[in-house]
Amino acid sequence: MKRTVIYFLFLTALNLLIITRLYSLFSYADITAVAYGKGEVAESALTRLARENESEKIFSEAVLWKAEGKVPISFSGTGREQIVSLYRVKGQQSAVFGEMLERGRYFTEGERNVCLLDTETARTIFGSDNVLGLEVDVEGKRLAVAGLLLGDQPLCVVPAGDGAEYDGIAAKKAERMSSSAAAFGTLEASLGNVGQQRIDGHLYYMTACLFYFLPAAGCFFWAGVRERKKRIIALLYLVLSAEVMIMGIGFASPGSDYLPSYWSDFDFFLQCFTEKRLQVKGLSCHQEFVSWQRMFGLWRQALVLEMMAVVLQVCVHPWVTGGR
């Protein structure tokens, strides 16, 4: 009896952890981004994207970014210096940083002598995180701190000058569960060519959802098969299995990006699996911003927890319940 109680309490806690990860991943489901080679994206791409977005309203916000590499920044008041990753951006910074703005504000179009810093860098060079309006020296220029970003990646974000060239574009879909394929098509059409790397927040939320609900549906189905001599109980298990599967697909919302017009289209599934596997592999090797790192980290945590739940159900549950 005691081991049964401990088992179910542990399983409940595990499921709560999984659900919190899925909930957090849902907040990233509207992220889309395309990375190119250094300096391959023209500033005019943002204007073309805005023009194409006027009619269909696929995106709610978009930003261009350019990585300038590692540079030192300093504060004359303390004499402290920190090496940071410098990015020049144009557009709405929340399209890539999301809700990571801890204090202050994003800078607006036309502002020049301002910057965003991560909180840890601000504490390192200023000795405090109450630094809004103070100035740092960046590549010979004095820039006022407009806002602080969450995360421990040393980071400085500054406005790009007119006519700059960029490395990529990030945009948030107006509707989280809308087609990512259509979003990427619009992004790449505005840039004029296919990107080297795609970042799709919906992919990570969807796969984590399916990996949670479908094994659960399978466990209920197997329980129904084992209880086939008790027809009523077996039928209840099978109905529950179908409901969990339908609910999981509903939460994941795979849509036309992942579901073909007919299920025998194996080439569609093979191509889809190959494409998404390469996307995951690309992001695992190249996570440009902290927001992407957090999304990928949450996804990995969810999958590990879900695998633990499956092992508990398959291996531990029979032992706890005496083989029933």
Q: What does the alpha-carbon distance between residue 169 and residue 85 come to, in Å, rounded to a whole number?
A: 18
239 shares its domain with 174: no
Local confidence band at 295 (pLDDT 50, 70, 90 cut-offs)? very high
206 shares its domain with 283: yes
64 shares its domain with 183: yes
Local confidence band at 323 (pLDDT 50, 70, 90 cut-offs)? low
pLDDT of residue 106: 94
178 shares its domain with 209: no
213 shares its domain with 274: yes
Instruction: Assess whether pLDDT exceeds 80 at residue 207.
Output: yes
170 shares its domain with 76: yes
Instruction: Assess whether pLDDT exceeds 70 at residue 86.
Output: yes
pLDDT of residue 316: 65
| Predicted model pTM | 0.89
Instruction: Assess whether pLDDT exceeds 70 at residue 221.
Output: yes
Comparing 166-170, 218-222, 300-304, the range with the smallest average pLDDT is 218-222
Q: Are strands 114-118 and 141-149 parallel, antiparallel or unpaired?
A: parallel
**Residue 127 DSSP SS3:** coil
Are 171 and 62 in contact by the 8 Å Cβ rule? The answer is yes
179 shares its domain with 42: yes
9 shares its domain with 94: no
Comparing 185-189, 280-284, 316-320, the range with the smallest average pLDDT is 316-320
Which position has the higher pLDDT, 278 or 7?
278
pLDDT of residue 208: 95
Average pLDDT of span 60-65 = 94
Average pLDDT of span 69-73 = 94
User: Closest by alpha carbon to 68, among 79, 83, 58?
Assistant: 83
- H or E stretch at 284: helix 266-285
Q: What does the alpha-carbon distance between residue 251 and residue 247 come to, in Å, rounded to a whole number?
A: 6
**pLDDT tens digits along 107-161:** 988 898 999 999 999 999 998 888 999 999 998 899 999 999 998 789 999 999 8
Local confidence band at 317 (pLDDT 50, 70, 90 cut-offs)? low
151 shares its domain with 269: no
pLDDT of residue 88: 94
Which position has the higher pLDDT, 315 or 147?
147
83 shares its domain with 9: no
pLDDT of residue 237: 83
**Residue 60 DSSP SS3:** strand
Average pLDDT of span 162-190 = 90
Number of domains comprising the chain: 2
Average pLDDT of span 19-40 = 93
Q: Over the chain, what is the mean pLDDT?
A: 88
Are 155 and 73 in contact by the 8 Å Cβ rule? The answer is no
In the 8-state DSSP scheme, what is residue 129? S
**pLDDT tens digits along 236-269:** 888 888 998 999 889 998 887 887 777 667 788 8
56 shares its domain with 180: yes
Residue 155 lies in domain: 37-195
Average pLDDT of span 197-214 = 93
217 shares its domain with 304: yes
Are 179 and 24 in contact by the 8 Å Cβ rule? The answer is no
